[in-house]
Amino acid sequence: MNYNVSEKFKSLKPSAIREIFKSLGTPGAISFAAGNPNPDSFPVKEMQEIANEIFENEPVTALQYGITEGYTPLRDLVKARLKRVYGVGADRDDLIIVTGGQQGIELTCKVMCNEGDVVVCENPSFIGALNAFRSLGAKLVGVPLNDDGIDVEKLEEALKNNPKAKLLYTIPTFQNPAGITTSLEVRKKVLDLAKKYDIIILEDNPYGDLRFTGEDVPTYKSMDTEGRVVYCGSFSKVLSAGMRIGFVCADKDLVSKIVVAKQVEDVHTNVLFQMICAKYIEKYDLEAHIREIRKMYKHKAELMIKALEENMPKTVSFTRPEGGIFLWCSLPEGASLDEFVKKAGDRLVFVVPGTAFSADPDEPCRSFRLNYSMPSDEEIVKGIKILADIAKEL
Amino acid sequence: MNYNVSEKFKSLKPSAIREIFKSLGTPGAISFAAGNPNPDSFPVKEMQEIANEIFENEPVTALQYGITEGYTPLRDLVKARLKRVYGVGADRDDLIIVTGGQQGIELTCKVMCNEGDVVVCENPSFIGALNAFRSLGAKLVGVPLNDDGIDVEKLEEALKNNPKAKLLYTIPTFQNPAGITTSLEVRKKVLDLAKKYDIIILEDNPYGDLRFTGEDVPTYKSMDTEGRVVYCGSFSKVLSAGMRIGFVCADKDLVSKIVVAKQVEDVHTNVLFQMICAKYIEKYDLEAHIREIRKMYKHKAELMIKALEENMPKTVSFTRPEGGIFLWCSLPEGASLDEFVKKAGDRLVFVVPGTAFSADPDEPCRSFRLNYSMPSDEEIVKGIKILADIAKEL
């Protein structure tokens, strides 16, 4: 039969990246397309040991229904770490554990936005978030990124032109896909604009722990004196992506609404992995573990940047991230991104075309995203040479 | 600051049951309020053994991002079991793994309904589903339950009066909260009405495995020749509730939309537990395990019914479920449910007032839900006596 699905889902397509991800099985393929953490970053032995302890000593807590807010010891540990590392968590704030960072983003929009409300976002931005906003009937308004973060003048223009703007969605640190970090100066201006136009800032910080060079920039949430910032984070990039553990820190009035929204989506996040996270933080040195991941990604990022510098024609530009797992490459004017991506795929090198990250998919785009956390050193060197060869032919 | 949350969330309250659940810590409290499986139903040793094998042999699969559709071996095993046990799964059908049965319900409504569309449901019905529909801006229309399932005449009236009806939500087997099973005759009539008024049936079957007396009634999905039935199930009541593993079986066109909806909610369901479920089904005898749970619940249900028969005044009626984990008690006309529930709570016996399950919470109600899967035998005997004493005083 023909299904009369909801208006919002009639046109919504699966994420281009996750579709690419599914077809990466070809032997010899080099993927710069994923957003995955390197499996060497999973503390397998430690997690196994902790899981065993839980199955021995507290199996019922792990396997029975839990409360929607999350496993209390983990909430307390995450609150303490956010405060210590990121200055996140005011007196009026609360924290809820969610099923991966993605759920935090989706729930925040669900709670804040009516259909037709506007979500302002960086352009390009994380496709998973953009599709979440679309799936809730929100209208996306993209604002271009400069090297120091969102273009503040164009942001004000967008806010002026869109009185129904409710949320600004931003990944200020090691942005996905662009690898850019918003400067302190820009962050301050953005906070002022948020206040002036009375919008909520949804600060998505999945990569913040992965800085391998330069100095930390204060989070929006740490500068927020009004409860205007909702902060989303995740353990996906530092412990395990498959376990689906994220968190949202916000004013307690908003968190209480997010709790209701989560309750009707999946009741609560799987308890065993919440317990594993808590006990990992208690028993082991999470900060030392993160330092090891940073070393690995620093090496890979530097290797990729060196390969790009040595091989790419000078007409191709790229960002030089100070952390995270992505960089952003742009082809020269006149070049066809579709042709480039297709030729790369024919030679089994996979990148994600920038169009996937656009608030407006019909907008022309000459950029693509490169991931360096997953490929091996050999793959990085070989794959970038192939991409450079193709770029030279354009 | 004051948050201008979305219209849908302005009035939505947390589930009354989950709020009761949080405050059950008092020593000596007897709870008939939960919807939890008995922890003795968790195969702890087997799950621990399997988890260890996975951490030894396939840690990366378990801890890395997975595909939204779910862990392929689990999907295949669930498809095979649904076909064998429930006749569920036509040629055009597909199956997606979701984060507990709750997510299947919410995603189906999200994909099917625009704001203002009508979801018809049994009255009373599962509060988690009702709140999910409310959170998506759907309008609820409740149809009373008879002893053999939904009132077919009133269902037709509701469908006639509500041209925007898109979904019928039903728990046909061991209904939550009423413990009623819809007869085959009623199911056939409901399928005819669904066809006549062109609506989708969302068949929620979390308790179907827990029959301890009487004969199985064919699922709606097994009688569906058009792809009109979306079937939701879960491992929460047979392996573990805390692991959050459910599934949706429906026509592949609908499943592909549900995949997109799930992708933006939580990317995918936690992989380790999907693997544990799959390996449990492969290595152990799930059907034998389920037979043991049925024995336990048969004993507890019979004990509760006996205690009700022996102690309750004859003016109090109750259902006699053939499976599942709930029965439904009704006070005589003129009795105050609020007073009853309050007096019970004062004596540390907790039940869920029927108002929590109503499509229209302002509707008067004299019924309450009793759970028998969680309390001990002693608690059942003692708790029912206390409830009977209170009922006699009304």
Residues A95, A220 share a domain: yes
Instruction: Tell whether A261 and A373 lie within a shared domain.
Output: no
A53, A276, A60, A267: which is closest to B42 by C-alpha?
A60
What is the domain-level CATH number for residue B302? 3.90.1150.10
In a domain, B1, yes or no: no
Residue A16 lies in a domain: yes
CA distance A255 to chain B (A): 11
The pLDDT score that the predictor gives to residue A23 is: 59
Residues B119 and B148 in one domain: yes
Contact A67, A267 (CB under 8 A): no
CB neighbours of B150 closer than 8 A, spacing ≥ 6? B122, B143, B144, B170, B182, B186, B190
What is the mean pLDDT of the segment spanning A359-386? 95
Mean pLDDT across the stretch B219-234? 97
- In whole angstroms, how far apart are CA A189 and each of A65, A182, A196? 44, 11, 10
A21 vs B254: CB contact, 8 Å cut-off? no
Q: Do A60 and B51 touch (CB under 8 A)?
A: no
Q: What is the per-residue pLDDT for B13? A: 80
Instruction: Kindly list the residues from chain B whose CB atom is less than 8 angstroms away from the CB atom of residue A111.
Output: 5-6, 9
Q: Do A240 and B64 touch (CB under 8 A)?
A: yes
A148, exposed or middle or buried, with CB in 10 Å at 0-12, 13-18, 19+? middle
Separation between Cα atoms, residue B370 and residue B386, nearest integer Å? 13
The stretches of chain B forming alpha helices (DSSP H) are: 7-10, 16-22, 44-57, 59-63, 72-86, 101-112, 127-135, 152-161, 184-196, 220-223, 252-266, 271-283, 286-311, 337-346, 377-393
Cβ-based contacts of A59 with chain B (< 8 Å) = 39, 42, 44, 48
Number of structural domains (chain B) is 2
Residues A75 and A27 both lie in one domain: no
* Same domain assignment for residues A181 and A219: yes
Q: Does residue A133 carry a pLDDT above 80? A: yes
Read off the DSSP letter of residue B370: E
Task: Give the gyration radius of chain B's Cα atoms.
Answer: 21
CATH code assigned at B86:
3.40.640.10
Burial class of B123 by CB neighbour count within 10 A (0 to 12, 13 to 18, 19+) = buried
Angle at A47 between CA B70 and CA A54, to 5 degrees: 95
Please tell me whether the interface predicted TM-score (ipTM) of this complex is above 0.85.
yes
Question: What's CA B207's distance to the chain center, in Å?
Answer: 7
Give residue-wise pLDDT tens across range A79-111: 999 999 999 999 999 999 999 999 999 999 999
B253 pLDDT band, cuts 50/70/90, is: very high
Q: Is pLDDT at B357 greater than 70 in this prediction?
A: yes
pTM metric for this prediction = 0.97
pLDDT digits (tens, 9 = 90+) for A249-284: 999 999 999 999 999 999 999 999 999 999 999 999
Domain range for residue A375? Answer: 8-42+288-393
CA distance A9 to chain B (A): 6
The reply to whether B109 and B158 lie within a common domain is yes
Helix (H, G, I), strand (E, B) or coil at B233: strand
